[in-house]
C-alpha cells in the first residue's frame, strides 16, 4: 500500500471537525464530451449496475457510451443554470448555509461538499479537509432514504480514500433520515406553502428514484423507507389514502423495477381526465436532472398528452431555511462527543430556548 504525503503539521495546532455533504454528481457541462466520462464513472460502479463485469463492460463501452452522452447532454441543457448544474449549485449553497448555521452554534466546524461521481471529488475534498487539520469527519450522504446504490457507494468512496492516508481521520456516517421528524415536517411544509400560493390538487404524487426490483428481494431497505417517508408526509398533511400516490421514476433497461412506475401512473391519471396532479420528489433534497427534466418536463408532457388537466411540479427543499435548520439539527445530533464542552453547553442552552419558545406558541 502506498500512502499519500501527509500535510505539514505543527504541534499545538487545534484539531477541527468536518461535516462532509455528499451528493450523486454531475457533469462539468451539458455537452456529450462532458457527459461521457461522467456516465462512464457512474455506470461503472458495481453498486449501481449489478451485472457481471465482463458482460456489462461490453454493453457499456460498446453501446451506451456511444449513444447516451448526446441524449443526456440535451436533457441537461434544458435545465442548466447560469451558475452550472442545478444539483451542484444547490448542494454548494446548502453547504455554505449549513456552515453559517453551525458557525453560530459550535466553533471549529468545517463544512464542505463532494460528489460521488465527477467533481468536486471525494478524494480531493478529503485531502483539502486534512490540510485544514480536520481529524474528525461526519459523512452526510444527501439521500433521505438508504440504498446500496446511493448511500453505501458514497461510504465506499470515502473508505477507499482513507485507505491511502497514513494518518486517517476519525469517521462517522449518517445512514438515513427518511423518518426524521424535521425532514417530514419540512417536506410537508414545503408542499403546504406551494398549495397556499397555487391551490390544492386532486392527487398528490410522491415520486422516488427507482431501483431494480431484485434490490428489494435481496434485502435493500430502500423501497420500505420510501413507503414510510411517503406515508408520514401524507399523515403530516392530513391526506387520506385516496389523495396521494407513491411511485418510482427513472427506470433503466428492460428488467423489472420498483412499481408503480411514475410515467405509467401519470399516463393512467391523464386517461382518467384527472383535473389536477401535483408532483413532488421526497427522495431528493436538491433539484437535479431527475426532478427538473424528467418529472417537471417529460412526465408533464405524458400526463397532458394522455388527457390530463393541470400539472404542477413542487420544487425540492433546496435552500429553504427550515430545511437548513433540520439539516443542522441532524448534524449536531451526530456530533455528540466531538464538540468542545463549551460548544455543547451553548448548544444545549439553544435547545432549551427553542423548546421554551415552542411551548409559548
Bridge partners (DSSP) of residue 109 are: 17
The DSSP symbol for 158 reads H
Q: Are residues 38 and 116 in contact, defined by beta-carbon separation less than 8 angstroms?
A: no
Of the pLDDT bands very low, low, confident and very high (cuts 50, 70, 90), residue 351 is: low
For residue 356, pLDDT over 80 is answered with no
Does 16-176+322-347 match 181-313 in CATH topology? Answer: yes
DSSP reduced 3-state for 81: strand
Q: Does the 181-313 domain belong in CATH 3.40.50.1400?
A: yes
- What is the average pLDDT across 192-201? 98
Query: So what's the pLDDT on residue 65?
Result: 95
Give CA–CA dist 59/119, Å, rounded.
25
Give the pLDDT score at 358: 47
pLDDT tens figures, 11-60? 777 889 999 999 999 999 999 999 999 999 999 999 999 999 999 999 99
User: By mean pLDDT, which of 35-44, 204-213, 351-360 is the weakest?
Assistant: 351-360
Report phi then psi at 276, rounded to 5: -150, 135
pLDDT of residue 361: 45
Cell of 70: 448526446
111 DSSP β-pair partners: 19
Evaluate the CA torsion angle 168, 172, 175, 180 in order and state its sign.
Answer: negative
Distance from C-alpha of 135 to C-alpha of 48, rounded to nearest angstrom: 30
Region 16-176+322-347: CATH code:
3.40.50.1400
For the chain, domain boundaries: 16-176+322-347, 181-313
325/359: higher pLDDT? 325
CA atoms within 13 A on the CB side of 110: 19
Alpha carbons 113 and 263: distance in angstroms, whole number: 32
**pLDDT value at 9 more than 90:** no
Over residues 318-332, the mean pLDDT reads: 96
Given a cut of 70, whether residue 347 has pLDDT beyond it is no
Question: Each residue of 219-271: pLDDT tens digit?
Answer: 999 999 999 999 999 999 999 999 999 999 988 777 899 999 999 999 999 99
pTM of this structure: 0.92
Query: Residue 291 is placed in which grid cell?
Result: 426532478
State residue 273's pLDDT score. Answer: 97
Amino acid at each position: 500500500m502506498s500512502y499519500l504525503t501527509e500535510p505539514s503539521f505543527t504541534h499545538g495546532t487545534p484539531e477541527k471537525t468536518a461535516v462532509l455533504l455528499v451528493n450523486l454528481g454531475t457533469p462539468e457541462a451539458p455537452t456529450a464530451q462532458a457527459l461521457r466520462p461522467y456516465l462512464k464513472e457512474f455506470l461503472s460502479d458495481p453498486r449501481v449496475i449489478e451485472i457481471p463485469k465482463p458482460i456489462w463492460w461490453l454493453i457499456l463501452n460498446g453501446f451506451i457510451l456511444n449513444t447516451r452522452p448526446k441524449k443526456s447532454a440535451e436533457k441537461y441543457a434544458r435545465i442548466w443554470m447560469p451558475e452550472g448544474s442545478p444539483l451542484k449549485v444547490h448542494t454548494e449553497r446548502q453547504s455554505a448555509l449549513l456552515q453559517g448555521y453551525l458557525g453560530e452554534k459550535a466553533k471549529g466546524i468545517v463544512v464542505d461538499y463532494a460528489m460521488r461521481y465527477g467533481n468536486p471529488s471525494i478524494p480531493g475534498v478529503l485531502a483539502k479537509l486534512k490540510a485544514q487539520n480536520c481529524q474528525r469527519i461526519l459523512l452526510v450522504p444527501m439521500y433521505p432514504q438508504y440504498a446500496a446504490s446511493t448511500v453505501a457507494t458514497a461510504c465506499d468512496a470515502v473508505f477507499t480514500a482513507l485507505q491511502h492516508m497514513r494518518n486517517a481521520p476519525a469517521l462517522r456516517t449518517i445512514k438515513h433520515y427518511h423518518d426524521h421528524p424535521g425532514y417530514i415536517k419540512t417536506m410537508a411544509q414545503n408542499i403546504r406553502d406551494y398549495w397556499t400560493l397555487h391551490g390544492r390538487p386532486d392527487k398528490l404524487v410522491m415520486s422516488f428514484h427507482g431501483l431494480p426490483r431484485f434490490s428489494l428481494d435481496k434485502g435493500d431497505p430502500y423501497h420500505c423507507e420510501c413507503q414510510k417517508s411517503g406515508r408520514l408526509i401524507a399523515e403530516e398533511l392530513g391526506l387520506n389514502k385516496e389523495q396521494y400516490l407513491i411511485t418510482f421514476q427513472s427506470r433503466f433497461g428492460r428488467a423489472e423495477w420498483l412499481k408503480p412506475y411514475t410515467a405509467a401512473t401519470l399516463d393512467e391519471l391523464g386517461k382518467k381526465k384527472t383535473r389536477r396532479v401535483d408532483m413532488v420528489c421526497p427522495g431528493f433534497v436538491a433539484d437535479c436532472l431527475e426532478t427538473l427534466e424528467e418529472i417537471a418536463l417529460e412526465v408533464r408532457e405524458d400526463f397532458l398528452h394522455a388527457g390530463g388537466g393541470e400539472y404542477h411540479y413542487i420544487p425540492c427543499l433546496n435552500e429553504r431555511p427550515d430545511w437548513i435548520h433540520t439539516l443542522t439539527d441532524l448534524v449536531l445530533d451526530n456530533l455528540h462527543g466531538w464538540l468542545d464542552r463549551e460548544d455543547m453547553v451553548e448548544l444545549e442552552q439553544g435547545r432549551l430556548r427553542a423548546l421554551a419558545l415552542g411551548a409559548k406558541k
